Structures are given as C-alpha cells and as structure tokens.
C-alpha cells in the first residue's frame, strides 16, 4: 500500500517507506526533510552545510497523518503551478524526495491554537495557495515552505524563527530568507525521531 500510494503521488516504485512513530506525533509537529535535488543542495549550502532543506506541518485528517507544505518542483500531472499541499507522510518522506528527515515537537499544547493552525493550513492547501518563487517574506499571497510554517505558528503567538533569518544569494533566491535551520533551532523544540 505504501509503495502504491507513493507511486500515485509522484514517487516511483523504487521508493521505500519510512516507519514513523505515529503514536508519538502531535498535531502541529514539524516535519523536516533533506531532498535530493539541486534546490535542496542550494538550501543546505545557504544554511552553511545545513541538515534539512524542507519543512512542513503534521496534522491528522480522518485516520491518516498528512504533511502540509509549500514545495517547488513537485507538481502533479494535472497541476500547472507549484502550491501548498497536504500530502501523506508516505509521499512527503518517500525515498525519492527525502534522503533524511526528522520530526519535532515545538511544545505547543494549546488545543485551540492547534485547531486554528490546522484549519488555516488545510484551507491554504485546499485553496492551492501558490509557492513563492521570489522568497519574499513581505508578500503573504504566496509562501515558501519555511514561511508557511513560520506564519502559521506566528498567528498562534509563537515565533519559531526567534528573529533569525539570513541574506541569501543563491540560484534565484536573492534577499532575506527564513531557512529550515532557523525553525529547527527554535528553543522549545524536541527532536523525537530522525532517519
């Protein structure tokens, strides 16, 4: 089932599934991965030999866990632009998209804040909010992965970046950006799973 599901969402039959500790995941947890493409290498280089190049938020839809994330270059065949998505953990962490990853608790325990964040995140995926190829934090009409997570947590009163950002000049990124490492280093984070 995992391999078939991965195949339906852009991963081939060579993909392998990661065995996640679903009993430990809490809604609103952070999902980090390091991809295999040029953009992933650019992001980790911008971080100064960073570990992860991409981030999303974990939420439960029915009896399945999904990762809400904004991602470039992973359009489905029916899509004509990069956007915010809600994908299964199998797809997010399939071996073709992730060479390593981790799950992180942020310490957010306010159930109303988590419910509000979940509703906003799933609405952004449903509304197909565009990926921000300009990496512009001043414009919230399109978002990149780290910006999406940061904005949703900030709406809950938590600044995961704690003021951190970096001036980046790589590929088509030119300006002040939030990188995955900025949210990974949030002072209340607890990494509880990695591969």
pLDDT in tens, 5-38: 333 345 654 566 689 999 999 999 999 999 887 7
Q: What percent of the chain has pLDDT over 70?
A: 90
Using CA atoms, how far residue 85 sits from 24, 55, 130, in Å, is: 23, 12, 10
pLDDT at residue 15, rounded to an integer: 61
CA atoms within 13 A on the CB side of 65: 22
Name the residue with higher pLDDT: 102 or 50. Answer: 102
For the chain, domains (ranges, CATH) are: 2-194 (3.90.1720.10)
d(Cα 168, Cα 176) in Å, to the nearest integer? 6
| pLDDT interval class at 40 (50, 70, 90) | confident
Question: Does 88 have pLDDT greater than 80?
Answer: yes
Quick check: 193 and 103 in contact, CB under 8 A? yes
Greatest Cα pair distance, the chain, in angstroms, is 43
């Amino acid at each position: 089932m995992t391999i078939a599901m991965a195949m339906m969402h852009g991963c081939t039959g060579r993909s392998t599934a990661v065995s996640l500790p679903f009993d430990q995941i809490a809604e609103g947890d952070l999902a980090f991965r390091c991809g295999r493409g040029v953009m992933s290498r650019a992001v980790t280089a911008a971080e100064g030999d960073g570990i992860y190049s991409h981030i999303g938020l974990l939420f439960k839809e029915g009896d399945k866990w999904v990762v809400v994330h904004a991602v470039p270059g992973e359009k489905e065949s029916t899509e004509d632009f990069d956007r915010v998505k809600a994908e299964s953990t199998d797809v997010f962490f399939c071996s073709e998209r992730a060479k390593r990853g981790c799950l992180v608790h942020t310490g957010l325990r306010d159930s109303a804040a988590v419910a509000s964040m979940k509703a906003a995140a799933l609405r952004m995926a449903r509304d197909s909010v565009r990926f921000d190829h300009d990496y512009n934090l001043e414009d919230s009409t399109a978002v990149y992965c780290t910006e999406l997570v940061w904005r949703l947590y900030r709406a809950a009163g938590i600044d995961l970046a704690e003021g951190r950002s970096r001036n980046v000049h790589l590929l088509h990124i030119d300006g002040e950006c939030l990188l995955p490492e900025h949210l990974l280093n949030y002072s209340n984070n607890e990494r509880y799973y990695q591969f």
